[in-house]
Amino acid sequence: MTKIAVLDDWQLVARTSADWSPLIARADVRFFESPFANEDDAARRLAEFDIVLVTRERTPFPPSLVARLPRLRMFGLTGARAGLIDVAGMISRGVTVCYTGGGPSGSSTAELALGLMLAAARRIPAGDVAVRGGRFQQGTEAGTLLDGKTIGLIGLGRIGTRMAAYCRALDMRVMAWSQNLTAEMATSAGALRVAKDELLSNADVVSLHLVLSQRTRAILGSAELARMKHGAILINTARASLVDEAALVEAVQSGRITAALDVFYQEPLPINHPFTHAANVILTPHLGYGVIEVYREYYQHSVENALAFLDGKPIRVLQSAGH
């Protein structure tokens, strides 16, 4: 019987997000609900599987791991982009790689960015801890008003445009920059197109909404973070590698800025990471797309993809790493 591994169900939503019964009737389906310890652990536990269905940006599949999965015939990823997965290598090995729709992940990620901005500005996580600890307001800091402040959006695509609308509703001034952004495109989204340095120097909040590529990797380094206002908030719900990690650690440890982060170089984030000990860092566990509505589309499409592959008529097939 074909063996299928459903990975990365860290929030325990896979079983209830789709009807798996047609697939379970035809294959041995196993759900993995916690991260692998390392690549060796993943290779050992996945070696027997013919089909692997993953959730994006969780378990990495570099070439070294792909080479250790001799039975792999189909690989299903959620969404169509996979920075941690050697899609090209799989295709070259004859593995069928399928993708899913993304559901309302643009809205869910923009909403989380908004939530992180509010949480950072009003010190909401620290307030929650204080109330639970019996201190109420004692030991808490007063927050800052967002009305009238300036947000700088680095990236003004689908998610950045939604974030711009949310911020305009708060009566914030919206500035934006990306390499391809024109003044007309910014104006249509209700933003002012400015140079990157001007954005960093003037924004009270900076929020990242770029696709990770070779030219956007580490687009914020030590020099860029140093240009930010003292006390400014940096929000990253996009990709960790857009920001140089060592530079960001230094910036928050020095107290110059506050960071609100949903994405990390290593996920799960190690418990002893400097971010976990910094009071001016707010952390969420990569929840940008993690809403029920998105998971339903991810998993229903994953089931459909696997069934179609078993029927010999695969659907939603990636022809190359790019599309």
Q: Are 297 and 102 in contact (CB under 8 A)?
A: yes
* DSSP codes of every residue in 207-262: EE-----TTTTT-B-HHHHHHSPTT-EEEE-S-GGGB-HHHHHHHHHTTS-EEEES
User: How far is the C-alpha of 270 from the C-alpha of 99, rounded, in Å?
Assistant: 29
Q: What are phi and psi of 231, to 5 degrees?
A: 90, 0
DSSP state of 147: T
Asked if the bond preceding 63 is cis, omega within 30° of 0, the reply is: no
32 vs 24, 47, 219, CA distance in Å?
Answer: 15, 14, 35
Give the residue numbers annotated as catalytic, written as ranges: 239, 267, 286
User: How far is the C-alpha of 207 from the C-alpha of 85, rounded, in Å?
Assistant: 26
| Geometric angle at alpha carbon 181, from 176 and 182, rounded to 5° | 105
Dump strand ranges (E) for the chain. 3-6, 28-31, 51-53, 74-76, 96-98, 150-154, 173-177, 192-193, 205-208, 233-236, 258-261, 281-283
Instruction: Using only the alpha carbons of the chain, give its radius of gyration.
Output: 21
C-alpha 25: how far from its chain's center?
33
